[in-house]
């Protein structure tokens, strides 16, 4: 019963909203904004041309590259900042200034540095996700339970060994949470990032939104792309959540 | 060094903590001398906040000495050392490792087969057979303390420092843990310095009970407990030792009151 309701209730709400959407468009008499079934037709059109498939892969490719680079740099940097207060003092103000700058503000800079290449959007996605990863990793180390560090030191574990055997595993649950937040932001930024690039040959879901608008106000395709972006974002989050079930990190999430 | 020199010797130990923003430093330990012999079981008791744990953390190399000296086996203490393992009140078992991997943590220098043999030996000694693959979150508080004890013993230290290790456990589990600790201590022949605020616990475990004054702490008395183990908590000798400790803490009246109350409740509870 409980399980059924957790499926049925959101479906019901979504259904009501879709009907409301349809009625409003009809009442309004808009010729530009699509009705729900037109969005579905748009999706079908994109899928049959093979565009949808290609654009999804192109966008995922950029996000995963930017995100992976951010994790590769952000996690070690955050661990170092959390452990060595000198590194923290040196870098934290800089990070706190750079962090609130929207990745969109970097678009001109990205064009200047990378031209219209794949490196541009990857750079923007990297920028969007590297700060939350670094900041959560640093905070996790600062909040590490002293007793774990002391126990390790007591057994003669120091230096790089201490990082590998204690500090990293002790902070992994929080680092994973940081990665989840960062991946969400990275996916959020893909639309903006693909505004500046992208050759029509490669495309992307963000590119699709701009392109569909510019090439004849195809709002059915705009909304279709939005829908796909939302669904993929949800799936990405669910995937990262699966990682939280591993025994190595499950202890860090309390009772759920 | 002479064969019968103490395992641990504390001379004129003073410990101060820095005060808040310019105020005078806070004196926690105000001059203390103590010798602990090889293989001895010593309990430190005193009112809460008196500095028992501070002394233990100094011995463990986690806190610096302000004045005086602490020598172990003739050497001054410089930081933590794998020959002396600390067992923490808040439980220092690593939650990301299984019971087996926790106990093996200090054994990374041993070859794998030997490591497993050592782990197995101590798993059985502390009574965790069958739980080797469990994670700490799947265990009770008492079992987690057993894991920590096994992890400490597996590293084959000369001394164990135990900081209220049973403080968070329920009464019956605590009694069982004490009995097991005494049994393990008798076979392993480790020197143990054990901090507790539970006077019954101290009398049940220790060769000698060191009673601290309130902060800044000095030693109020050292009460030898010359009773055969396992110790009956209602035996006359036991109660006598307990009273001596209460007396050293200036709380003998409290002990009498408690004893009277206990005799009364025994009439109902048996």
Q: What is the pLDDT of residues A43-64, one digit of tens each?
A: 999 999 899 999 999 999 999 9
Q: Is the peptide bond before A93 cis (omega within 30 degrees of 0)?
A: no
Nearest residue to A207 via CA among A47, A25, A23, A55: A55
* Residue A8 within any structural domain of the chain: no
B163–chain A nearest CA distance, Å: 12
* Residue A6 within any structural domain of the chain: no
**CA dihedral for A33, A201, A194, A190, sign (positive or negative):** positive
B160–chain A nearest CA distance, Å: 11
Q: Given CB atoms, is B155 within the 8 Å cutoff of chain A?
A: yes
* Residue A192 within any structural domain of the chain: yes
Please write the tens of the pLDDT for every residue from A228-249.
Answer: 999 999 999 999 999 999 989 9
Please write the tens of the pLDDT for every residue from B156-173.
Answer: 999 999 999 999 899 999
Q: Which residues of A touch B79 (CB under 8 A)?
A: 153
Q: Structurally, how many domains does chain B consist of?
A: 2
Residue pointed to by tokens 């279709």: A224
* Residue B182 within any structural domain of the chain: yes
* Residue B268 within any structural domain of the chain: no
* Residue A40 within any structural domain of the chain: no
Query: Looking at B117, B139, B156, which one is the last position of a domain?
Result: B156
* Residue A255: predicted pLDDT: 54
Q: Given CB atoms, is A128 within the 8 Å cutoff of chain B?
A: no
* Residue B38 scores a pLDDT above 60: yes
* Residue A69 within any structural domain of the chain: yes
B84-87 sheet: strands from edge to edge: B84-87, B159-163, B191-195, B41-45, B208-212, B219-224
* Residue B138 within any structural domain of the chain: yes
Please write the tens of the pLDDT for every residue from A167-215.
Answer: 999 999 999 999 999 999 999 998 888 876 667 777 899 889 988 888 8
* Residue B262: predicted pLDDT: 59
* Residue B269 scores a pLDDT above 60: no
Q: What is the CATH number for A222?
A: 1.10.3720.10
* Residue A124 scores a pLDDT above 60: yes
Mean pLDDT of B21-41: 92
Regarding whether B218 and B151 lie in a shared domain, the answer is no
Domain that holds residue B216: 8-83+159-225
Q: Given CB atoms, is A77 within the 8 Å cutoff of chain B?
A: no
* Residue B146: predicted pLDDT: 96
* Residue A69 scores a pLDDT above 50: yes
A and B: number of Cβ contacts within 8 A: 57
Is A154 in contact with B95 (Cβ distance < 8 A)?
Answer: no
Regarding whether B176 and B197 lie in a shared domain, the answer is yes
Is B137 in contact with A147 (Cβ distance < 8 A)?
Answer: no
Count of CB atoms situated within 10 Å of the CB of B25: 11
**Please, which pLDDT band fits residue A256 given cuts at 50, 70 and 90?**
very low
* Residue B267: predicted pLDDT: 46
Q: Which residue has the higher pLDDT, B89 or A255?
A: B89
pTM: 0.86
Domain that holds residue A123: 58-248
* Residue B233 within any structural domain of the chain: no
* Residue A214: predicted pLDDT: 86
* Residue B152 scores a pLDDT above 70: yes
* Residue A77 scores a pLDDT above 90: yes
* Residue A49 within any structural domain of the chain: no
**Please, which pLDDT band fits residue B4 given cuts at 50, 70 and 90?**
low
What is the maximum alpha-carbon separation in chain B? 59
C-alpha span between B251 and B234 (Å, rounded): 19
Please write the tens of the pLDDT for every residue from B245-267.
Answer: 999 988 777 777 765 555 555 54
* Residue B268: predicted pLDDT: 42
Q: Which positions 38-77 of B are in contact with A (Cβ < 8 Å)? A: 60, 62
* Residue A190 within any structural domain of the chain: yes
Q: What's the N-to-C CA distance of chain A in angstroms?
A: 20
Regarding whether B46 and B28 lie in a shared domain, the answer is yes
Which residues are CB-neighbours of A230 under 8 A, at least 6 positions away? none
Regarding whether B73 and B24 lie in a shared domain, the answer is yes
Please write the tens of the pLDDT for every residue from B82-123.
Answer: 999 999 988 899 999 999 999 999 999 899 999 999 999 999
């Amino acid at each position: 019963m409980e399980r059924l309701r957790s499926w049925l209730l959101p479906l019901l709400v979504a259904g009501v909203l879709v009907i409301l959407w349809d009625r409003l468009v009809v009442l309004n008499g808009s010729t530009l904004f699509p009705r729900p079934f037109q969005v579905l037709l748009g999706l079908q059109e994109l899928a049959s041309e093979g565009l949808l498939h290609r654009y999804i892969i192109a966008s995922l490719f950029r996000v995963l590259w930017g995100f992976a680079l951010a994790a590769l740099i952000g996690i070690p940097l955050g661990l170092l900042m959390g452990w060595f207060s000198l590194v923290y003092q040196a870098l934290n103000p800089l990070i706190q200034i750079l962090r609130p700058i929207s990745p969109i503000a970097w678009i001109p800079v990205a064009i200047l540095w990378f031209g219209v290449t794949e490196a541009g959007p990857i750079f923007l996605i990297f920028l969007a996700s590297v700060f939350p990863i670094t900041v959560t990793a640093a905070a996790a180390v600062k909040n590490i339970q002293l007793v774990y560090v002391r126990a390790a030191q007591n057994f003669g574990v120091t230096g790089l060994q201490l990082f590998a055997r204690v500090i990293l595993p002790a902070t992994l649950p929080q680092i994973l949470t940081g990665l989840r937040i960062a991946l969400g932001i990275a996916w959020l930024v893909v639309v903006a990032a693909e505004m500046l690039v992208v050759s029509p040959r490669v495309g992307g879901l963000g590119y699709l939104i701009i392109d569909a608008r510019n090439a004849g106000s195809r709002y059915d395709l705009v909304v279709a792309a939005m829908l796909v972006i939302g669904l993929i974002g949800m799936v990405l989050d669910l995937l990262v959540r699966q990682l939280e079930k591993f025994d190595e990190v499950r202890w860090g999430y309390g009772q759920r | 060094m002479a064969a019968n020199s103490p395992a641990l010797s504390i001379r004129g130990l003073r410990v101060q903590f820095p005060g808040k923003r310019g105020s005078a430093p806070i004196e926690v330990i105000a001059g203390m001398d103590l010798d602990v012999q090889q293989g001895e079981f010593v309990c430190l008791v005193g009112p809460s906040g008196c500095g028992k744990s501070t002394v233990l953390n100094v011995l463990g190399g986690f806190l610096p000495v302000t004045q005086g000296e602490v020598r172990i086996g003739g050497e001054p203490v410089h930081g933590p050392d794998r020959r002396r393992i600390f067992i923490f009140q808040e439980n220092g078992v690593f939650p990301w490792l299984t019971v087996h991997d926790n106990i093996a943590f200090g054994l990374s220098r041993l070859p794998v087969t030997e490591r497993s043999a050592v782990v197995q030996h101590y798993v059985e000694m502390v009574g965790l057979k069958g739980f080797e693959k469990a994670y700490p979150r799947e265990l009770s508080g008492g079992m987690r303390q057993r894991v920590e004890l096994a992890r400490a013993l597996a590293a084959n230290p000369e001394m164990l420092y135990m900081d209220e290790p049973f403080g968070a456990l329920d009464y019956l589990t605590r009694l069982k843990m004490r009995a097991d600790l005494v049994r393990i201590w008798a076979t392993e022949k480790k020197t143990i310095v054990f901090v507790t605020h539970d006077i019954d616990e101290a009398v049940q475990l220790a060769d000698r009970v060191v009673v601290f004054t309130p902060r800044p702490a000095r030693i109020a008395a050292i009460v030898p407990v010359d009773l055969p183990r396992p110790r009956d908590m209602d035996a006359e000798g036991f109660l006598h030792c307990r009273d001596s400790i209460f007396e050293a803490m200036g709380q003998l009246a409290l002990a009498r009151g408690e004893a009277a109350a206990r005799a009364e409740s025994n009439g109902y509870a048996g």
